[in-house]
A and B are shown apart, each in its own frame.
Chain A
Amino acid sequence: MIQVQDLEPAPAPRPPGNAVPPTQADRDALEHTWRDPQGFVGWFSAINHKTISKRFLLTTFGFFVAGGLIAVAMRLQLMRPANGLIGPDLYNQLFSMHGTTMMFLFAVPVMQAISIYLIPLMVGARSVAFPRMNAYAYWVFLFGGLMLYAAFLLNIGPDAGWFSYVPLAGPEYAPGKRVDFWAQLVTFTELSALLEAIVIITTVFKLRAPGMALNRIPLFVWAMLVTAFMVLFAMPSVMLASTGLIMDRLVGTHFYNPAQNGDALLWQHLFWFFGHPEVYLIFIPGLGFLSAIIPTFARRPIFGYTAMVLSLIATAFLSFGLWVHHMFATNLPEVGKSFFTAASMLIAVPSAVQIFCWIATLWTGRLNLKLPMLFVLAFFFILVLGGLTGVILASVPLDLQVHDTYFVVAHLHYVLLGGAVFPLAGAVYYWYPKFTGRLMNERLGRWNFWLFFIGFNLAFFPMHLLGLKGMTRRVYTYPAEMGWGMLNFTATMGALLIGASVMLFAINLWRSRTRGQPAGPDPWGGGTLEWATASPPSAVNFEAIPVVYGRDPVWETADHPPSRPEAVAGLATTAREQLVTSVLDAQPDHRQQFPQPTPWPFISAGATSALFIGSIFTPWAVVWGAVPVAIALTIWFWPRHDETAVNVALEKSA
């Protein structure tokens, strides 16, 4: 019998294991083993989850600023009646780019980006699962976003709205390449998001520190886990829809062409089957931030942990049953619409459960009103307003009155900015010291907060009234006789205030890197595991992986019985070895060798981008473009002799 051993390299010397507590030699060796390579090629080879996350965050912030500047341009055009600043064609591109940027290039990816930094720290892991795929997902995302903006600068930016309804976006009414770039952007970003979802799910299920049973993981991790599962089932829908759209446009299929038995509403169904869960893909991470920030500043464990987890899961399930409430103005059966009204009302229940749990936590805690908490309180105010208009829009007759008006624009900004961007800003203030080792400036932060809060309400509250007065979405101008001038002027002033607040935020982010007050490992007195690492964490995160006995391990270390193990010993210090634990109870199961840095994820992402962009111009790009992708992925996968020799040594020592 031929054995695997016949093709094994001779084992290298066995790498030494770490001690508990780790010695200085252990620390130095681990730092050397896990850090990203230096130099030009090294920069493209980086796979450490913290490096990738920081690049990802910077990229999404860049797109946020770009999308925000586009919004300011639109507001300047609408500032007064019959304004001639921006013409209708450019305006169409601007609102399409704004929506597409904020939804596909900012809101979902920024949540995944921050969580690939935090989740390994929170669950006590040295890396995310599949670190190379994580890097690949980042590069694909970056190239997709750059493609969209390159197209926009060349005057071929999308112009059919962020949801590209057919027939407007179909071959007949949208000739040229504009919508094709939109459709491929969706392919890029959804591929990236789907891969990140797999990374997050596997990390949370398999790489938790021993003892961190599923009912002990931090609520933020639960929120991102639930989000990742939603991504798996929601994003394929928009990928399929946009593939059908681009095929209708490029190879003459008829998915959405009623003249050949196609159906324009099929687009709306597929789009909103993704699009409504998408809202919750943005909102649920926001809930996760709140559940991380509130216990720290209330200085007590969260009230109702189990109810919170069940609410997250219930929200995720219900969010898949709401998509038709975006289609109340279509000819669907009225009975069916009533069902979706009921489901839309029902989803308020799990959201309310969480809000009551937070209030109970704050009520019974000892409040510490630091900057992150201000953003949390703003969330309560803004989200409640957005939720109330949501209940109005969920009702068919009311929705028909304000459909496609600025009332909807007001509602969605209240929900998305209140539900996600305010908590996100709070989260940045909260975790910035973990990322950089320094606190952000409190005074600048308060200016940032108040300008943002006042500017936000000034910009978006008048839009409710504009909608009720009949101003429709996506108009590039309006005559003075409509009487919308004053409210629009107010909204534009609000938008400028938001712009100023974002500028202060950016200045604060930049300056505090070097001038901020040193933070130490746990500046806020938090209870979850990321606060047990250095700020910023070492390349390996945990020199010795901790053993966990409760939901807030940092708070619980003070009063434990002295006779239980505190950390894991014996993991290699000169090889990338990670402990893998069981899904439910996080019992130690086996040791896994993690891959070395390599530029091949970067090269594979480049090849993938060539395929996607090429296919905008010729369908044959799918065929010839697949060859470099296959080659790059194969080299990426192919095991190296020297690494295998080390792995064999570790295997033999078991």
Chain B
Amino acid sequence: MNRSRLGSPQAESLALDASGLPTHAFGHRNLMWWGTLGLIAIEGTIFALTVVSYFYLQVHAPKWPPNTPPPSLLWGTLNTAVLSASLWPNHLLKKAAEHGDLARIRRNFIACLAFSLVFLAIRVFEFRALNVRWDNDAYGSVVWLLLGLHTVHLITDTYDTAVLAVLMFKGPLESQRLVDVSENAMYWYFVVAAWLPIYAVLYLAPRSW
């Protein structure tokens, strides 16, 4: 009763031996890659639907922005530059993880976290330069929602990165942890890539109307 039907008794020599297979793999071969991709699909859909809601409200409004000037360009544009620049240490971090070079991993983790502190600080100024409150009108609500959603991603990604960085200094390590570092870097790519259309919506769309 307890025996698999497929394991026929004489098949001793007819097994597929898995004992020599590697115990980790990078990229789409790994489970963590698919899990991260699933999160990216979900969060990308949320961003996309928020942008759709923005334009839905825009086409139904007589004037856009209805009552206030558009967001000031300075801090948002500066942050776009900082976020884009953070891709470089993030890329180096991903490569270092794939090569298993712990010294470079640690170095680039510190660089990434330094970038995090800078873009989170600038983000505070971005909120203050929106020139509208969330409770002024629907425009203010959707603008705060969009910037707020992206900021949540910056905060969670910074926290994930910090936790992994501490692990890289303290251990215990095995190769699978390098895969985690690599997938964390993929998620960072997404958070930056999602920002570019959001920047265009927040800062350029109200000016081109």
Q: Which residues of A contact B (CB under 8 A)?
A: 1-4, 6-9, 17, 19-22, 27, 129-130, 133, 194, 197-198, 201-202, 205-206, 210, 232-233, 235-237, 239-240, 243-244, 247-248, 251-255, 257, 260-263, 266, 269-270, 273, 520-522, 531-535, 538, 542-544, 546-547, 553-554, 557, 562-571, 579-580, 582-583, 588-593, 630, 634, 637-641, 644-645, 647-648, 650-651, 653-654
Contacts and interface: CB of A to CB of B under 8 A. Distances in A.
Contacts of A522: 5
Task: Among A266, A543, A553, A593, find the residue whose CB has the most chain B CB atoms closer than 10 A.
Answer: A266
A386 to B, nearest CB: 29
Given A4-B102, A266-B53, A583-B28, A237 B167 contact: no
A208 B41 CA distance: 23
Interface string B20-63: 11111100111100110011011101100110010011001100
B53 A270 contact: yes
B124 to A, nearest CB: 14
A19 B18 CA distance: 11
Contacts of A641: 172
Given A4-B175, A205-B34, A582-B29, A19 B5 contact: no
Given A1-B101, A569-B19, A639-B173, 12 more contacts: A7-B171, A8-B171, A17-B18, A198-B34, A235-B42, A254-B136, A255-B138, A263-B138, A521-B5, A570-B18, A579-B18, A579-B21
A236 B45 contact: yes
Contacts of B163: 634, 637
**Sorted from nearest, which 3 A-B pairs have the closest CB atoms?**
A570-B19, A7-B171, A20-B15
Nearest to A7: B171
Given A4-B173, A261-B61, A17 B19 contact: yes
Nearest to A256: B138
B209 to A, nearest CB: 13
Contacts of A645: 172
Task: Among B16, B22, B28, B31, find the residue whose CB has the most chain A CB atoms closer than 10 A.
Answer: B16
Contacts of A17: 18-19
B5 A590 contact: no
B4 interface: yes
Contacts, number: 271
Task: Among B34, B103, B176, find the residue whose CB has the most chain A CB atoms closer than 10 A.
Answer: B34
A490 B28 CA distance: 57
Contacts of A19: 12, 15
Given A194-B42, A630-B159, A20 B14 contact: yes
Contacts of A582: 29
Task: Among A4, A22, A588, find the residue whose CB has the most chain B CB atoms closer than 10 A.
Answer: A4
Contacts of B60: 261, 263
Interface stretch (B70-78, B110-118, B139-147, B200-208): B139-147
A197 B37 CA distance: 12
Interface string B62-89: 0000100000000000000000000000
A590 B21 contact: yes
Given A201-B34, A261-B138, A588 B21 contact: yes
Task: Among B31, B167, B168, find the residue whose CB has the most chain A CB atoms closer than 10 A.
Answer: B31
Contacts of B29: 580, 582, 589-590
Given A538-B2, A546-B4, A593-B176, A254 B22 contact: no
Given A232-B42, A261-B61, A544 B22 contact: no
Contact of A546 (B6, B18, B35, B170): B6
Given A198-B38, A236-B45, A639-B167, A252 B135 contact: yes
Contacts of A590: 21-25, 29
A634 B170 CA distance: 14
Interface of B: 1-9, 11-12, 14-25, 28-31, 34-35, 38-39, 41-43, 45-46, 49-50, 53, 56-57, 60-61, 66, 100-103, 106, 134-142, 144-145, 159, 163, 167-168, 170-178
A639 B177 contact: yes
B1 A129 contact: no
A608 to B, nearest CB: 13
B44 to A, nearest CB: 9
Given A20-B7, A21-B7, A130-B35, A210 B16 contact: yes
A570 B103 contact: no
B134 to A, nearest CB: 5
Given A534-B3, A566-B11, A639-B174, A653 B19 contact: yes
B6 A566 contact: yes
Nearest to A546: B6
Task: Among A1, A253, A262, A569, find the residue whose CB has the most chain B CB atoms closer than 10 A.
Answer: A253
A563 B7 contact: no
Given A521-B1, A569-B16, A588-B18, A260 B137 contact: yes
18 contacts: A1-B103, A4-B102, A20-B11, A20-B15, A130-B31, A194-B42, A198-B35, A237-B49, A252-B135, A253-B140, A565-B11, A566-B14, A567-B4, A567-B16, A590-B24, A639-B177, A644-B172, A651-B24
Nearest to B103: A2
A644 B174 CA distance: 7
B50 to A, nearest CB: 6
B167 to A, nearest CB: 7
A197 B34 CA distance: 11
Given A253-B135, A254-B141, A261-B138, A22 B7 contact: yes
Contacts of B103: 1-2
A232 B167 contact: no
Contacts of A535: 1
B193 to A, nearest CB: 17
Contacts of A235: 42
B173 A644 contact: yes
Given A1-B101, A534-B1, A651 B18 contact: no
Contacts of A201: 34, 38
A567 B173 contact: no
B19 A542 contact: no
A262 B57 contact: yes
Contacts of A570: 15, 17-20
A543 B4 contact: yes
Contacts of B167: 638-639
Nearest to B9: A21
Nearest to B142: A255
Task: Among B11, B39, B106, B159, find the residue whose CB has the most chain A CB atoms closer than 10 A.
Answer: B11
Contacts of A534: 1-3
Nearest to A228: B38
A9 B7 contact: no
B137 A254 contact: yes
A263 B4 contact: no
Task: Among B57, B103, B172, find the residue whose CB has the most chain A CB atoms closer than 10 A.
Answer: B172
Nearest to B53: A266
Nearest to A541: B4
B25 A589 contact: yes
Given A130-B31, A202-B38, A262 B141 contact: yes
Nearest to A198: B38
B170 to A, nearest CB: 8
